[in-house]
A and B are shown apart, each in its own frame.
Chain A
Amino acid sequence: MGRQAARMNVNGKSYARVVDARLTLADFLRHEINLTGTHVGCEHGVCGACTVLVNGRTARSCLMFAVQANGCEVTTVEGLTPEGKLSVLQQAFIDNHGLQCGFCTPGMLVTLTELLRDTPDPSEQEVREALTGNLCRCTGYAGIVAAALDAARRLRDADKPETA
């Protein structure tokens, strides 16, 4: 089996490993560098649990080989979590009951991080459409949608004094 170098920056830290060329990025993150927050729910790119940011854009880490991320900046749920506390979006998930089993949650957080960065004031419909790439079987999405809208509000409010 062909082995190749995989070199990438994950959550601000550089990693270099020699891996099987066919190793998925999801398995690299979970089992090579032990960032198990990224979950694998279907391995065929539908459920979105494995969603990470690659150079700032959402990507299915189950559909990418690790070596395809060579030279990239990868952000996982661990990288979205401030040291010793939770982000505004994560806190909004708690307050709005945006998770039950928590398995799809890391992918949800990554997708919504991208949405709120690019669309700071999304409508409910925009949130729902952004989430169509992430399946949740527990919540019926209501808490997730509410959390996203709540976080967007809190982030906009936090920005106001700076711009004033």
Chain B
Amino acid sequence: MGAKQFGARVTRLEDPTLLAGRGRFVDDVKLPGLLHACFVRSPHGHAKVVSIDSKIALIMPGVHAVITAIDLPDPMRTQRLPLLLPNPALAATKTQHALARDEVCYVGQAIAVVIADTRYIAEDAAAAMIVQYDVLPAVSDYRGAAEDTAPHVHGDLSSNVASSFRLAYGDTDAAFADAAHVFAEALWQHRGGGMAMETRAVLASHDPASDLLTVWSGTQTPHLGRQALADLLDRDLQSIRMIAPDVGGGFGPKAIFYPEEAVIAAAALKMARPVKWVEDRREHFLCATQERDQYWEMSIAVDEDARILGVRGRMLHDTGAFVPWGIVMPYIASTTVPGPYVVPAYQLDTSVVFTNKVPTTPVRGAGRPQAVFAMERLLDRVARELNIDRAEIRRRNLIQPEQMPYEVGLLFRDGKPLVYDSGDYPRVQEQALTLADYDSFRERQRVALDEGRFIGIGVANYVEGTGLGPFEGVTVRVLASGKVAVATGATNQGQGTRTTLSQIVAEQIGCRLDDIVMTIGDTGAIAQGVGAFASRQAVNAGSSALLAGQSVRKQLIALAARTLGIPEDDVELDDGQAVSSRGNKPSIGFGDLARLAQGIPGVSLPAGQAAGLEHTAYYTPSQAAYCSGTHVVEVQVDAMTGGVKILRYTVAHDAGRVINPLIVDGQVQGGVAHGIGNALLEWMQYDANAQPLTTSFADYMLPMATDVPTCAIAHVEIVNPLNPLGVKGAGEGGTIPAPAAIISAIEDALSPFSVHFAETPLTPERIVAAMRAAGAYERLFAA
């Protein structure tokens, strides 16, 4: 086997190109004859489209075409975009048209596209389009959407309820009837976005000579996108190549298939010239999918020792105007509540309602931050009411390692029973508490209080289902140059996929990392692919890389042994060479072996020799891989301004075996930053007519370098028994418990005033309002 790579802190292979400014993002791709697109979008949350007048736009110099719904090719003209995750609990399977036909259901919904010589001209012409609307009442606040008096989000749907379902196990009625204590909380989490630094972008080009339609898209899922395009354009799958080149961040919203991808592809075919569209940031706020709007009413029943007897409640989820990813987030949320705790009885009734807002689909965490917030806020409430330390109440209720594998009693979103494969939740929590100096915090707090500073600490735990199927694939092929070509359907938006997969392959076949030529996110390079979401690529693509590498390793050894005339056991693979471990150590390079495996034209290969040195493996996980973690946050709150400063952030987590600690630390740290945004800053706001109010980074605030401390991170590596690498996902755990831990810490800091918080984001205004309502300022000034 080659040099030890797995587990090493290998610096990233992606970095030198990106650092030199030589990355290739969609907008960096230049093609001759390129035309530019600008979309005409609905300014109303809900309206009938009465007429579209392109006359002025079309006479503007440099404008080539205006495309509306009726100009689209069949079946895209009439067929709605695909519902990628169907579910029997979905009552209304409403997805949008590529271009709206007669009704628009959210601000920003695309109605037409202008094609012009430059983006500047296309924007001028889009502004000159005259669209007449018959404005209809819009649904903005989802909490009233299900009521009979609410306007309808869609003209042809008589109800705004997209789905209602109950998930339950155990006897909750009995649990609550017999409980020593019952507490209830109402919790609210607001919308935010993925807000990748690179906005979405699509470039399409059709080559008439080969009839190949090539679409570059800043997507997390090119293989799914290619299938959607094939369906909407009625083209053979082989005549479409979709490429996700360098992609500037994903975080979920780039995982779905968008109207713009369909329309730009259709436009390139129609114009017989390449067409490019690059989303501007305002469009990203209007049209890229969002997440987090959920309203929870939850109760917890505990015994005299604060041991959980049952949890039950209701949850309302805002899906926006359409359901492109079905009900995946509310479903995941519903199954995430019990988390790392023994919850003997559980019942949650979920309603998913339409609103006249951009659809919601997974954003880093995908329903889990809300569920963790619900559970952890309930535990904090019990701790407060029963005067128990917040770490202690968790300790009492954690699932013990000897209970693994632990069957929760629900079906997870992968269609399999929710069974935690492995984990040691008490150990993870203890590690986090130790690293955070939790036991000495009350002394720190007392000293701070003497100095007039309000500091607090918060603890939150989570279990996350990662590594979802159905599969991912990796091809490993030794080239005649001696280099090793690796292709995968996994995609890279910054996760270091190229580096981690190279580490796995290099270790298996004994080549240099530099000798691996990786093709990522290109449907032309591997037949099947799924893409990036649900922290799934280390598990799926990583395992495939291992399996493909093992196969090619066997092939290399067999061929080298035959060629060198030595036993297979004597062959060692290192540094791109097969070397005998005995005698005068004869050797042969991988390039020569690859040529031998190609054979000689017309001559039969030796018995047992397959064509080429290559293998494609598609790893199919039997179920999700459950990672876990504990976050401990220390904050200081300015009682007068409501400003929150995070003093210290500690994470202990179990993502199974760590392939590259450098990269996993980066995933955790970045995830925490996103969670800090969710907890304190990021709030996509709409007015009563569903008109977006926060459409720039001046209104919608992302965490800055001064908002995010450098986390202390501990890895607890508990091997996942279900995949060959022993890994679990690590991409979202940084985000999931962060709001719960931070809000808990703020509440603890302000505990002298007995204020209580049940919402995110918790902005300074809301902290001050809560302080005022609690009479805190009278007490502060009196003191």
Contact = CB atoms under 8 A, between A and B. Distances in A.
Interface in B224-278: 246-249, 251
A38 B22 CA distance: 10
Nearest to A95: B11
Given A37-B22, A103-B196, 9 more contacts: A47-B281, A94-B15, A99-B19, A100-B249, A101-B196, A128-B706, A134-B705, A137-B196, A140-B673
A70 interface: no
Given A39-B248, A102-B246, A78 B705 contact: no
Interface in A114-132: 127-129, 131-132
Interface stretch (B87-95, B182-190, B489-497, B746-754): B489-497
Contact of A100 (B670, B696, B702, B704): B670
A6 interface: no
A140 B697 contact: no
Contacts of A38: 21
A146 B698 CA distance: 27
Contacts of A103: 23, 25, 196-198, 246, 248-249
B450 interface: no
Contacts of A10: none
B636 interface: no
11 contacts: A41-B281, A95-B11, A100-B495, A103-B248, A127-B705, A131-B705, A135-B197, A138-B197, A139-B666, A140-B666, A140-B670
A142 interface: yes
A28 interface: no
Contacts of B199: 41
B120 interface: yes
Contact of B280 (A43, A78, A81, A127): A43
A104 B248 CA distance: 8
B630 to A, nearest CB: 18
Nearest to B119: A27
A57 interface: no
Given A42-B696, A138-B249, A140-B711, A102 B280 contact: no
A100 B665 contact: no
Contacts of A132: 704-706
Contacts of B18: 99, 102, 105
B25 A100 contact: no
A101 B248 contact: yes
Interface string B281-294: 10000000000000
B710 to A, nearest CB: 4
B680 to A, nearest CB: 14
A41 B25 CA distance: 12
B674 A137 contact: yes
Interface in B13-36: 14-16, 18-25, 27-28, 30
Contacts of A95: 11
B632 to A, nearest CB: 16
A42 B278 CA distance: 11
Given A41-B197, A137-B196, A138-B494, A105 B19 contact: yes
Given A43-B281, A101-B198, A140 B669 contact: yes
| A: interface residue count bin | 35 or more
B197 A36 contact: no
A62 B496 CA distance: 29
Contact of A76 (B15, B21, B198): B21
Contact of B702 (A93, A137, A146): A137
The 8 A-B residue pairs whose C-beta atoms are closest, nearest first, are: A37-B21, A103-B248, A102-B18, A101-B494, A100-B494, A140-B673, A77-B21, A46-B697
Given A97-B12, A103-B198, A132-B706, A142 B249 contact: no
A7 interface: no
B11 A137 contact: no
Contacts of B696: 42, 44, 46
Given A94-B15, A129-B706, A138-B249, A104 B197 contact: yes
Most buried by A among B23, B196, B247, B702: B23
Contacts of A17: none
Given A44-B697, A93-B19, A128-B705, A140 B251 contact: no
B493 A78 contact: no
A69 B493 CA distance: 33
Most buried by A among B11, B15, B24, B711: B15
Nearest to B11: A94
A46 B195 CA distance: 13
A34 B19 contact: no
A140 to B, nearest CB: 3
A78 B21 CA distance: 6
A50 to B, nearest CB: 11
B28 to A, nearest CB: 4
Contacts of B281: 41-44, 47
A149 to B, nearest CB: 11
A79 to B, nearest CB: 9
A28 to B, nearest CB: 12
Contacts of A109: 19
Most buried by A among B28, B194, B666: B666
B558 interface: no
A81 B21 CA distance: 8
Nearest to A82: B20
Nearest to A38: B21
A35 B708 contact: no
A129 B707 CA distance: 10
Contacts of A30: 27-28
Given A99-B15, A102-B19, A142-B711, A135 B670 contact: no
Contacts of B195: 137
A103 B698 CA distance: 20
A73 interface: no
A110 to B, nearest CB: 10
A34 B27 CA distance: 11
Contacts of B247: 101
A145 interface: yes
Interface string B532-563: 00000000000000000000000000000000
Contacts of A49: 197
Contacts of A16: none
B708 A140 contact: yes
A94 B12 contact: yes
Interface in A144-159: 144-146
Interface string A80-103: 010000100010011101011111
A127 to B, nearest CB: 8
Contacts of B27: 30, 36, 40
B663 interface: yes
A46 B698 contact: yes
Interface string A22-66: 110000001000111111111110110100000000000000000
B672 interface: yes
A100 B496 contact: yes
Nearest to A107: B197
Interface string B337-369: 000000000000000000000000000000000
B496 A41 contact: no
Interface in B628-681: 662-663, 665-666, 669-674
A102 B197 CA distance: 9
A97 B662 contact: yes
A136 interface: yes
A104 B665 CA distance: 19
B496 A34 contact: no
B666 A36 contact: no
Contacts of A22: 120
Nearest to A76: B21
B12 A142 contact: no
B708 A142 contact: yes
Contacts of B12: 94, 97
Nearest to B121: A1
Contacts of A34: 30
A76 B703 CA distance: 25
Contacts of A140: 666, 669-674, 703, 708, 711, 734
Contacts of A90: 16, 19-20
